[in-house]
Amino acid sequence: MLKLPLDVDQIKGFLDPAEGEALQRAALAGAALGACLEIGAYCGKSAVYIGTACQSVGAPLFSVDHHRGSEENQPGWEYHDAELWDDEAGAMDTLPFLRRTLRAAGLEETVIPIVGRSATVARAWGAPLGFLFIDGGHTMEAALGDYRGWTPHLVRGGLLAIHDVFPDPADGGRPPFEIYQRALASDLFEEVEEGASEVKVLDEGGETITSVITGPVTADVISNIEREGQRPRSLLPLLRSLCRV
Ligand SMILES: C[S@@+](CC[C@H](N)C(=O)[O-])C[C@H]1O[C@@H](n2cnc3c(N)ncnc32)[C@H](O)[C@@H]1O
């Protein structure tokens, strides 16, 4: 693992150190293939792990968040933190905390915050991604939007990491698990085979918390077409055979 530039325990957030290290390793591999991007910055904990990897190879990390917090961060919810509340805006605001983290970590030249709704940014996005970390909203609509909006930008062989993949609903919301399953079922992704234990982070009970899967295994133009319905489905087999390498 690369040495971290600051004590990550000081940063507000929900990322376990083992998850952070797995993300760092995956980002190092993915950065060789394309840009790195995370959805869900919060106060910058994952950005420090991933950003340190990117910095070591001179690659950027784009960090997308509207900084108004997820459902569970709102007042009255389990993960609300009153320190992150902006009275004037009448809303959460984690952006100043992210900026503070990036400055303290010496990552201001590496991590590029993008303030906006994930789906809106995804629609305008053009750069090929070598590493994608999905850790945004946990409603089905948000998780599915992240999956559909961002995975078509992954290059062939690029790495996808999904946080909070809980197979048992008792452990947490299921949408991240559902998009993880969707990715595996899509035939465009496959679980990392070699050294999978290195990138699959398990909790004490053996449940997967963060999974890293590779993909797409077919040409990514197919994944765009399939997901966005730009072509009639009947053309897919033909397009698939033309694009498969
Ligand atoms: C679990 S936190 C991210 C934690 C962060 N990765 C870390 O390591 O501490 C989820 C973040 O996603 C953001 N978020 C939720 N839904 C979003 C959306 N639709 N677009 C952009 N950001 C979103 C929230 O504002 C919140 O900061």
Span 145-161, pLDDT tens digits: 999 999 989 888 888 88
Give 38-52 pLDDT, tens digit per residue: 999 999 999 999 999
Domain boundaries, the chain: 8-191
Residue among 11, 23, 64, 70 to mutate when testing ligand 1 (max atoms within 8 A of CB): 70
What tokens appear for 144 in the block?
């599915």
pTM of the model: 0.86
| Catalytic annotation, residues | 138
- Ligand 1: residues within 6 Å at CB? 13-15, 40-42, 45-46, 64-70, 94, 117-118, 135-137, 142
Query: Phi first, then psi: what are they for 112, rounded to 5°?
Result: -110, 105
Q: What percent of the chain has pLDDT over 70?
A: 80
Q: Is 114 left (phi over 0), alpha (psi -120 to 50) or beta?
A: beta
Mean pLDDT taken over the chain: 83
pLDDT at 195 over 50: no
Residue-level pLDDT at 217: 54
Looking at beta carbons, which pairs linking 118-124 to residues 24 or more positions away fall under 8 Å?
A: 118/39, 118/64, 118/66, 118/142, 118/145, 118/146, 118/149, 118/150, 119/145, 119/146, 119/149, 121/64, 122/146, 122/149, 122/150, 122/153, 123/149
Residue 142: CB atoms within 10 Å: 21
Atom of ligand 1 at shortest range from CA of 49:
8
- Host H or E run for residue 39: strand 35-39
pLDDT at 163 over 70: yes
Q: Give, in order, the Cα–Cα distances in Å from 108 to each of 5, 9, 221, 232.
A: 12, 19, 33, 44
Give 13-29 pLDDT, tens digit per residue: 988 888 898 899 889 98
Distance 157 CA to ligand 1 centre (A): 25
Residue among 50, 65, 140 to mutate when testing ligand 1 (max atoms within 8 A of CB): 65
Query: Any idea which of 120-124, 127-131, 230-234 has the lowest mean pLDDT?
Result: 230-234
CATH topology classification for 8-191? Rossmann fold (3.40.50)
Atom of ligand 1 at shortest range from CA of 117:
20
CA atoms of 45 and 179, how far apart (whole Å): 23
